[in-house]
Amino acid sequence: MRTKKGVVTSNKMDKTVVVSVHTYKSDSKYKKRFRVTKKFYAHDEDNTCSIWDQVLIKETRPTSKLKRWDLVEKI
């Protein structure tokens, strides 16, 4: 089961948070590294997270149309 560490960017939905995860990729020709940001919708059962919290999420079965991640802990 995959886990990712990221930052909460939105908590306006009920029992759902949007987590932004930053990764680095490298250009094949010029070998320059650049940052890529991807957003994941995660299930937050108790609505405990606020914006800018560092969180750990894990992959789970689909909960809704967009939610495929579950909140493990706040870091």
Domain boundaries in the chain? 3-74
pLDDT tens digits, one per residue of 31-59 = 999 999 999 999 999 999 999 999 999 99
Q: b vs e for 8-20, b when ≥16 Cβ sit within 10 Å of the residue's Cβ?
A: beebeeeebbbbe
Per-residue pLDDT at 1: 83
Which CATH number applies to 3-74? Answer: 2.40.50.140
Burial of 35 (0-12, 13-18, 19+ CB in 10 A): exposed
